[in-house]
A = this chain, B = another copy of it.
Amino acid sequence: VSIDPTADRAVYRQLADLLRARITSGELGPGSRLPAEGALAQEHGISRDSARKAVAVLRAEGLVITDRAGSHVREQGEVTAVAVPAGATITARMPTEQERRAHGIAEGVPVLVVADDGEEAIYPADRHRLTYPPS
């Protein structure tokens, strides 16, 4: 009941802050299920819309994954090391929707873009790590 509707900070941001704190503190570890949006709304005396937006914030930050069953803290999967060719340039950006679908990329996960000699390769940032030289 630590949400204050009259506060300067938006209600949904306050809830996002609360949930984020529980995640980063480890109280909600990787894989942990978040309360349902409706439950969050009831517990904190806010609308489901606000609870929903709070979860959306965390999703955009790449902290949580939401599927049909609900939301849960994102787990770190296997990370593949990728060797960067000498002379390549590396950038990052959010994937297009097609790329998201094609590579099974969750919301809030950027892609690493390795440009080498006009050729571009993209790697979902939650599953890849770039290194040079090859370790």
Quick one: which of B86, B109, B129 contacts A90, CB cutoff 8 A? B129
Query: How far is the CB of A77 from the nearest CB of chain B, in Å?
Result: 13
Interface size on A, residues (CB 8 A): 31
Residues of B within 8 A of A109 (CB): 93-94
Complexed CA–CA distance, A84 and B132 (Å): 8
Q: Does A28 contact B (CB under 8 A)?
A: no
Q: Does A91 contact B (CB under 8 A)?
A: yes
Interface contact B86-A132, CB-CB below 8 Å? yes
Residues of B within 8 A of A86 (CB): 132-133
Q: Which chain B residue has the least Cβ–Cβ distance from A49?
A: B49
**Contact (A96, B129) CB under 8 Å given A90-B84, A90-B112:** no
**Contact (A94, B131) CB under 8 Å given A110-B110, A110-B125, A125-B110:** no
